[in-house]
Amino acid sequence: MTTAAKTLTRREVPTDQTWNLTDLFETREAWEEELQAIPAATENVTRFKGQIGLSAQTLFNCLEAADELLARVMRMTTYAMLKQSGDGTNPENQSDAARAGAVASKTGADLAFIRSEILALDDEKLETFKADVPELREFDKTLSDLMEAKPHRLSPDAEEMLAAFGEVHTAPYMIYERSKTSDMVFPDFEVNGQSYPLTFNTFSTYEESADTDVRRAAYEAFSATLKTYNNTYAATLATEVKKQVIESRLRGFDSVTDYLLHSQQVTQEMYHRQLDVIQEELAPIMRRFASLKKRVLGLEKMTYADLKAPLDPEYDPDTTYEEAGKTVLDSLEVMGPEYMEIMERGVKDRWVDLADNVGKRSGAFCSSPYGVHPYILMTWTGSMRDAFTLAHELGHAGHFSLAGRYQRLSGTRPSRYFIEAPSTMNEMLLREHILGKTEDDRMRRWVILQSLGTYYHNFVTHILEGELQRRMYAKADQDVPVTATLLNETKQQVLQDFWGDEVEIDERAGYTWMRQPHYYMGLYPYTYSAGLTASTAAAETFKEEGQPAVDRWLGALKAGGTMKPLDLMKEAGVDMTTDEPVKKAVAYVGRLVSELEESF
């Protein structure tokens, strides 16, 4: 019996495959000093307590000091979080992440008075303050968002008490991630005399294996381990949901959904439009796609484990990180020199962690500490598909680098409704670049498949997570307990409703809600589809209008969080007040599937 290559420990990974955390803190000792210094530095802000309403200058000084402090806290917590993401099995990393979280929570509680005291001001006084100190206009969006929250404020004492529980409130997510990276161990599985090592990260690779036996065996082994954590993770998620339900009621929202959408500045109409239109119009298209895979791959039945099987398994172009980085950079040149300077640094200056090691967090993300530079986590497999993941995360990096360059910290982060637009735009530019450079029909088909992978990820995987959330929160509002049985059965039903008779959805598919951390981030999953809808529409304007459309897009990136999501979309050249952009994006997916059907 042969065994596939052993997964390295973090210590065994070459340095050039890891991110350079010294750009945040030169040493762990320097980080430790900052951790210890932050509580004392908090006094630079708390000295304004009880005085915010006295003058416009006092309000400005307080907000400015708060931004400076929170930038320090962000860098401190990011350092600990990145180390924990790189190796969650390391006890020191676990301890540092917990300590960082405790300091951040204490800081949040200490600064809760700012919100309460601003909410005590009336609109007229606030406008007078802005006239007295014009610099306050730099905090316009922050102040207007706070005033909109006025009907849902608690008493100052209650707000401070609630903020003091910040570390406890984030505990469900921390427990989930700690368990997943530190405790969850998957057994090796065997296929035709070969043993395959299984981790949370490598399962994603096996899902896309050309070998049906490997795909299905990996799915069985992966699901068996998930099942052993089923009740624990259900209790953890139930705690998260109960927390949200309680706070939504304390603040007087009509439902927990209204409460979660409020911070996104998204209406129920916008929320339900994304979920309804995509599921109703995309399901028939994706069933055709599943049927095509079944026919081309010669499968007797199409199972949930086969959905990511490669349609052209003998054609899987590989690439090195260096080659992919150059291709990605070439594809983004339309964005201009300022954007490209950021992209080049991102690719070449160790912003990216590429390693596959034991204890590394699954998936990919971009973390953007204010005043430093973004950090990207991904696991490099050598497939050309990794180039699309790199382009995606660099889209986040470019967005927040520009926002941080042009806005104060409090004005950098937009609504989650927009957050995935810059990342998916980069993927589309990469796709168009590769298609424009090749005359190989097989490569063209492969690129179309990668594009479908992007839409699958955002319009299928995440939209169905969003549908599970919609059903789960409807039950929670009725005080129906969130249990493992409820989650498993609901997830299985959501998948069945979408895929119909084209795909066999077994009981194990119901466990897949345990794979995603997004359920601990409010109503995050559905926003992936909103971002991709916007970038799909904006990419068309790039072709039609050229530079003016690109300039509008860059203007939206630089605006950061200083505009509401619909206004930000309009700034980028997209009108999301109707279902037209969503329908057009779904129709585009339909054209991709039709071209694939013709090619086979």
Q: Which two tokens stand for residue 15?
A: 């340095």
Q: What is the pLDDT of residues 132-189, one digit of tens each?
A: 999 999 999 899 999 998 899 888 888 888 888 888 999 999 999 989 888 899 999 9
Question: Is the separation of the CB atoms in 540 and 428 below 8 Å?
Answer: no
Greatest Cα pair distance in the chain: 78
Statement: residue 245 has pLDDT above 90: yes
- Location of each CATH 1.20.140.70 domain in the chain: 12-169
The closest of 274, 213, 593, 299 to 418, measured between CA atoms, is: 274
Distances in Å between the alpha carbon of 104 and those of 75, 101, 108, 332, 371? 11, 5, 6, 36, 18
Phi, psi of 8 (to 5 degrees): -70, 155
- CB count within 10 Å of CB 112 equals 20
Average pLDDT over residues 516-522: 93
What does pLDDT average to over the chain? Answer: 94
pLDDT at 5: 63
The pLDDT-based confidence of 209 (bands split at 50, 70, 90) is: very high
Q: Is 303 exposed, middle or buried (0-12, 13-18, 19+ CB in 10 A)?
A: buried
Q: 């300022």: which residue's tokens?
A: 338
In sequence order, what are the residues at sequence separation of 6 or more whose Cβ sits closer than 8 angstroms to the Cβ of residue 263? Answer: 522
pLDDT at 134: 95
**What is the rounded distance in angstroms from the CA atom of residue 86 to the CA atom of residue 98?**
15
The closest of 467, 469, 395 to 431, measured between CA atoms, is: 395
pLDDT at 484: 97
Pairing of the two strands 365-367 and 189-191: unpaired
More confident residue, 148 or 38: 38
Q: Which CATH architecture has domain 175-314+457-520?
A: Orthogonal Bundle (1.10)
Q: What is the pLDDT of residues 343-389, one digit of tens each?
A: 999 999 999 999 999 899 888 999 999 999 999 999 998 989 899 99
For 3-7, 143-147, 411-415, which range has the lowest pLDDT when averaged over its residues? 3-7
The closest of 397, 456, 409 to 592, measured between CA atoms, is: 456
pLDDT at 411: 94
The pLDDT-based confidence of 283 (bands split at 50, 70, 90) is: very high
Q: What is the pLDDT of residues 499-510, one digit of tens each?
A: 999 999 999 999
The closest of 355, 444, 351 to 401, measured between CA atoms, is: 351
The pLDDT-based confidence of 4 (bands split at 50, 70, 90) is: low
Angle at 356 between CA 350 and CA 358, to 5 degrees: 120
Contacts 24+ apart (CB under 8 A), 9-13: 9/87, 9/357, 9/358, 9/359, 10/86, 10/87, 10/90, 10/355, 10/357, 10/358, 10/359, 10/360, 12/357, 13/355, 13/357
Average pLDDT over residues 580-593: 94
Average pLDDT over residues 570-589: 93
**What is the rounded distance in angstroms from the CA atom of residue 386 to the CA atom of residue 319?**
9
Q: Which one-letter DSSP state was computed for residue 165?
A: T
Q: What is the pLDDT of residues 448-500, one digit of tens each?
A: 998 998 899 999 999 999 999 999 999 999 999 999 999 999 999 999 999 99
Distances in Å between the alpha carbon of 534 and those of 44, 430, 529, 548? 41, 17, 9, 17
Q: Which CATH class is domain 12-169?
A: mainly alpha
pLDDT at 375: 98
Q: 């806005």: which residue's tokens?
A: 407
pLDDT at 316: 84
Q: Which one-letter DSSP state was computed for residue 509?
A: G
Question: Is the separation of the CB atoms in 331 and 430 below 8 Å?
Answer: yes
Statement: residue 402 has pLDDT above 50: yes
Q: Which one-letter DSSP state was computed for residue 525?
A: T
**What is the rounded distance in angstroms from the CA atom of residue 522 to the CA atom of residue 300?**
39
- Location of each CATH 1.10.1370.20 domain in the chain: 175-314+457-520
Residues in the chain: 600
Secondary structure of the chain: what % helix, strand, coil (to 5)?
Answer: 70, 5, 25
Q: Which two tokens stand for residue 3?
A: 């065994």
pLDDT at 3: 46
**What is the rounded distance in angstroms from the CA atom of residue 313 to the CA atom of residue 151?**
57
Statement: residue 121 has pLDDT above 70: yes
The closest of 511, 523, 518, 525 to 232, measured between CA atoms, is: 511
Average pLDDT over residues 33-62: 97
pLDDT at 2: 43
Q: Looking at this protein, which amino acid is placed at residue 556?
A: A
pLDDT at 12: 94
- Tell me, letter by letter, the H, E, C secondary structure of 337-388: HHHHHHHHHHHHCCCEECCCECCCCCCCEEECCCCCCCEEECCCCCECHHHH
pLDDT at 299: 96
- CB count within 10 Å of CB 378 equals 22
pLDDT at 1: 40
Statement: residue 67 has pLDDT above 70: yes
Q: Which two tokens stand for residue 227?
A: 């099942």
